[in-house]
Amino acid sequence: MAQVARSRAASARRSRHAGKRQAPSWTRLSDEQLLSLRFCDLGLSIEQSPLKRRVARLYSELEARGISVRPHVWLSEEWFSPDGVPGIAVPFYLAHPRLEKLERHIMREVEGGNARWFMRILRHEAGHAIDNAYRLRRRKRWREVFGPASLQYPHRYKARPGSRRYVHHLGQWYAQAHPTEDFAETFAVWLKPNSDWRRSYADWPAFHKLNAVEELVSSLRGKRAPVRNKTRIEALDLNTRTLADHYRGRLARNNQIRRGLTDELLKRIFSPHRPRRTAVRAASLLRAQKNALVNAVARESGIERYNVQQILRIVIERCESLKLFVQGSRRDAVHHARWMLERLARLYSQRETPHLQL
């Protein structure tokens, strides 16, 4: 009996070992070596990554809402849902921790890098996919509520931070970019499990958009989607570009961000030259004081906390791009930063509008 037990234990250990996937050889490469690889050589897939569970979670949320379409999901260079395709592309770096580390090192953040953030973006992209699957943008009701989808998609858009005609979901007032983004953002707010949109948006003009999404989805139940293709645009396994090419392009786009009033105010407060070895980076200081700054400005200005958060996010990004440092005491720097943030928040809420990169 003891010999049988040992044999079974050994068999179980072998099974567990066989079930473990070997880490790809490129996980041990340096950043420089990793950047020389082509996307198609990474051997990544949704099925063999932690993303599989999150995609399954989206499908469960859609099923709970009575939506039968299951958008197919594939890996690509960035987030998107192509026109005419009822599917979603997810950025490659989310498929492996080593690639997330590379993304954070180069781009300073990982878009969708935690479960909550990932699901927020996935629900937004699902809105595009459902729109494509049922051709909702062709419907009169869709056009009446969100506007014509045929409008030219802008490279930049002028946000109106004080407007309540749009829901708040991904940040940077993204619903205001285009009618299709307005629908996707509204769909995402509506889809979220246990969403309290009926209460939180009750007094907003955007409330009728959420009701319209519910009406549109109700009309889909029990109907087969007319668009069911499984096209994968810019799929990773067919992409022969190197990671270096990818990041070179993204960094170049980031450098084209408009410099305006924000930059001028920042340069009054912070210095592009490191005054001493122990000087703190301006972006680090603002991140550390984020909650205090947002709360104070929102309270004193009467501007919504969400709007102040988005403006502070833009300010921090500019501090990083300009490589600014605190030049006096931290206390004075925080005081001046609070003044600057309040001024920007008031300007944006009254007449000035932030120009945001798409």
Instruction: Give strand pairing partners of 157.
Output: 356
Q: What are phi and psi of 157, to 5 degrees?
A: -140, 150
- Predicted local distance difference test score (pLDDT) of residue 350: 56
Residue with the bigger pLDDT between 197 and 155: it is 197
- Predicted local distance difference test score (pLDDT) of residue 253: 73
- Predicted local distance difference test score (pLDDT) of residue 8: 52
Closest to 349 measured CA to CA, from 172, 160, 156, 165: 160
Proportion of the chain above pLDDT 90, given as a percent: 69
Residue with the bigger pLDDT between 126 and 252: it is 126
Nearest 5 degrees, angle CA 23-CA 27-CA 33?
150
Proportion of the chain above pLDDT 70, given as a percent: 89
Radius of gyration of the chain, Cα coordinates, nearest whole angstrom: 24
- Predicted local distance difference test score (pLDDT) of residue 159: 82
- Predicted local distance difference test score (pLDDT) of residue 348: 73
Q: Mean pLDDT score of the chain, rounded to an integer?
A: 89
Comparing 49-53, 207-211, 227-231, 337-341, the range with the smallest average pLDDT is: 337-341
pLDDT digits (tens, 9 = 90+) for 85-99: 999 999 999 999 999
Q: How many CB atoms lie within 10 A of CB 154?
A: 11
Mean pLDDT of 124-147: 97
- Predicted local distance difference test score (pLDDT) of residue 18: 43
pLDDT digits (tens, 9 = 90+) for 46-64: 999 999 999 999 999 999 9
pLDDT digits (tens, 9 = 90+) for 165-220: 999 999 888 999 999 999 999 999 999 999 999 999 999 999 999 999 999 999 99
pLDDT digits (tens, 9 = 90+) for 115-126: 999 999 999 999
